[in-house]
Chain A
Amino acid sequence: MSRGYSGGSKQFQRQANVALVMDLVRRAQPLSRIDIAGRLGLDRSTITHITSRLFDEGCLRVHSEGDATSKGGRRPTLLALNPAYGCIVGIDISPDTCRIHVADFVGDPLWRGSFPLGEDASAPEKKIERAVRHALDAAAGTGHPALGIGIAVPGIVAPDSGTVIESRELGIAGYDLGREIARWTELPVLLDNDARCCAYGEMGNVSAESSSPAAGPSFLFVMGRFQPADPHTAPEESLLKPSGIGIGIGVVVDGRIHAGAHHSAGEFRSVSWRADAPGQLGMVRERLAHMKKEEAILRQGFEELLLNLSPLVSVLDPEEVIFGGEFRRQYPLVQDLLDNELASSYIGMRTGGWKLRLSSNGEWETAAGAARMFVEHLFAIPAPEGRSFPTAVGWETLFDRFRSSDEVRTA
């Protein structure tokens, strides 16, 4: 059956078929032109035309020669993505630190590092600009031209428009961060919240055959970050400015991030929360402030979180629940609670056939996830109505940008 596009304008068909070829090569490389034509149900001549163009642009390379056919014909040339085509810059911005993950075009890490951003909260835009400049310097050091930037921001983010709706942690609201960074870097920029970026980071860790935009994995990424208790936070603001530990959930349904109708899906508040609790849990301020250092309080907080998470897992019925941040660092405690205090609460979840595990990217989970977010959008297959076509990224946009620049790349 043909997966190629026949509807829509000629320009749309061309863009969609380029995206299909790139997506297939990424998932199943190395492939011959005949393999690509067969798997996509497109004419060999169409595939020859598309792959020649992708060669010229520099994003495909010859990998090797395949086996000869049984009739002894010419050995087919196997094609693969060209890792040297460019790099993707992932940035994790927190109030006092930025972590940077530079990945090559295939998604393998090229460079990782972190920089302190200082305690000064008076000029958050300058702080973010500093983080991006650090990241671009790091990317330049790899020798690969930067293709684009993915940014993870704590708070509520509208990924479609690149707007930070509200990030109390960074002290910005209603700010077109994506557009602003794109303006002065002249690069495509995508952003999302930190928990969702972590979830993007796990998308590359599913098998090539099982993962496709039509039926990809479904999982939850549970992210926790310690934060200082803010004595000025009013109870009604506590969900927006969590104290003690900030908790966010990245929800992935059938291989797609679920952002909800208004980009705010994946927030968390304990059902034990009461008006005198300043954080997302039911703990009062005095206990929350000592959560990081006192094991008994930490255990109580984790128990409350996991108890609240149990029914959500039943509702979402994921394939995996992945823990990141503090939950990754304190995983023995998580396991101990699940084996003891919470054993009965999680019976229903265990019979559902889901698995628990730690994030694959360790402390770089958010920055690596931000880079992966860019990659996922770059390789996304556009829908005819344009809904899944990323606002800032597309192959044609990328080719146009490189054609108009002085950068020279070789396959």
Chain B
Amino acid sequence: MNETWTIGIDLGGTNIKAIALAASGKRGELLSVPTPSGGGSKGIIDGIVAVVRQALEEAGGGRLDAVGIGTPGLVDDALTIRGTAVNLPEWERFSLKTVLEDRLSVPAWGGNDVGLAAIAEYELGAGSGAEVLVCIWLGTGIGGGILLNGTPFRGHNGIGGEIGHVVVEPGGKLCNCGQSGCVEAYGSANGMLALYRKEQSPAAGTPTLPDFAAALRAGESAAVAAHEVACTMLSRLTGSVLNVFAPDRIVFGGGVVQAGIPLIEPITTRLPEYALPATRNQCTFALSTLGGSAGPLGAALLARRKATER
């Protein structure tokens, strides 16, 4: 019997991930293809359309009812890209909803990539049952997703949850956004690697995230020093989030978590300096259980929910 599928997409600076979710709850395999480079926003849209069709085909075919997509950068609930995305060329100020619906002839919904991952973690993963859930995603940059009693928190203008540019070290490292001392400059994958390179000898080459994780496991002093700085800054971010939102669950995810870099213990041991006892003692901390599937699954869940509401 032909299934009706919703395809969830997670658009990243490096890869486009996709997953098919059936009305029955059945899931397809997670697909990951490189994000097209050199073709600007049109090339990226072509890549998204191709991966949607591939995901549908690999799921066994059937009817496509909707598409959900998570995208980095400032994006509102109407799926309009309102600002620039540092890691995606020409990805600014256009209606992604209009473009995708024209190309795929099905309704498209979506939003901030980590906001969607938070929906998946709340419904299917480590955030299940949380009254106030905050997801902190450490990838190329740092993103945040906040759910209040299961409802995504997006702020008045639909662009809330941008935690990557919380200043944790006034006058500190220059961030891609132009400010100094943003947590993203320290605690993201790129931030950690930059700290690691600074601690290494100039002849050490250009390490990758797996290299950094391996060096950390081996107790290499340069890696340990970089990790300590990164976790101190992440602890300051976590403290600010705890003080303002008082969540009962914080879930860490993204490429840094998937690379096996320790986070929870080094962050929480530093928290007494930054967070009120009542907020830190009543919050539990967890790693994402959905891994790389969280973003596309959350996108599919949102699109399914919206399609049902219509």
Contact = CB atoms under 8 A, between A and B. Distances in A.
B244 interface: yes
A362 B298 CA distance: 45
Interface in B156-214: 156-163, 165-170, 177-179, 182
B167 A310 contact: yes
Contact of B279 (A236, A260, A314, A318): A260
B82 to A, nearest CB: 9
A265 B244 CA distance: 5
Given A271-B236, A354-B156, A156 B278 contact: yes
B245 A260 contact: yes
A271 B274 contact: yes
Contact of B278 (A262, A268, A304, A314): A262
Contact of A315 (B131, B166, B168, B282): B166
B275 interface: yes
Contacts of A236: 272
Interface in A101-147: none
Interface string A233-266: 0001001100000000101010000111111111
A7 interface: no
A375 B255 CA distance: 48
B156 A273 contact: no
B184 to A, nearest CB: 11
Given A273-B274, A316-B155, A317-B160, A311 B170 contact: no
Contacts of B258: none
A261 B247 contact: yes
A259 to B, nearest CB: 7
Given A236-B272, A312-B166, A317 B245 contact: no
B102 interface: no
Contacts of A57: none
Nearest to A156: B278
A160 B286 CA distance: 28
A307 interface: yes
A263 B165 contact: no
Contacts of B169: 271
Given A236-B272, A271-B236, A261 B156 contact: no
B276 interface: yes
Question: Secondary structure of the B side of the interface?
Answer: loop
B132 A261 contact: yes
Contact of A253 (B130, B148, B168, B170): B148
B155 A311 contact: no
Contact of A264 (B166, B236, B278): B278
Contacts of A353: 156-157
Interface residues of B, number: 46
Nearest to B178: A344
A165 interface: yes
Contacts of A263: 246, 278
Interface residues of A, number: 46
A79 to B, nearest CB: 33
Nearest to A265: B246
A317 B157 contact: yes
A259 B159 CA distance: 21
Interface in B258-289: 272-279, 282-283
Contacts of A348: 165, 177
A311 B168 CA distance: 10
Interface in A312-336: 312, 314-319
B170 A258 contact: no
A317 B276 contact: no
Contacts of B158: 317
B239 interface: yes
Given A262-B246, A315-B144, A267 B279 contact: yes
A269 interface: yes
A239 B276 contact: yes
A352 to B, nearest CB: 5
A268 B144 CA distance: 19
A376 interface: no
Nearest to B168: A271
A249 B278 contact: no
Contact of A249 (B178, B244, B274): B244
Contacts of A239: 276-277
B41 interface: no
Given A262-B279, A345-B179, A352-B157, A269 B167 contact: no
A317 B167 contact: no
Contacts of B162: 314-315, 317
Contacts of A262: 246, 248, 278-279, 282
A193 to B, nearest CB: 12
A230 interface: no
Nearest to A235: B273
20 contacts: A165-B278, A218-B156, A251-B244, A253-B148, A258-B148, A260-B279, A261-B283, A262-B246, A265-B132, A267-B243, A268-B243, A269-B274, A273-B273, A273-B274, A311-B163, A314-B162, A317-B157, A317-B159, A318-B155, A354-B156
Nearest 10 Cβ contacts at the A-B interface: A260-B246, A317-B155, A317-B160, A261-B248, A265-B246, A311-B166, A267-B243, A319-B156, A264-B278, A262-B282
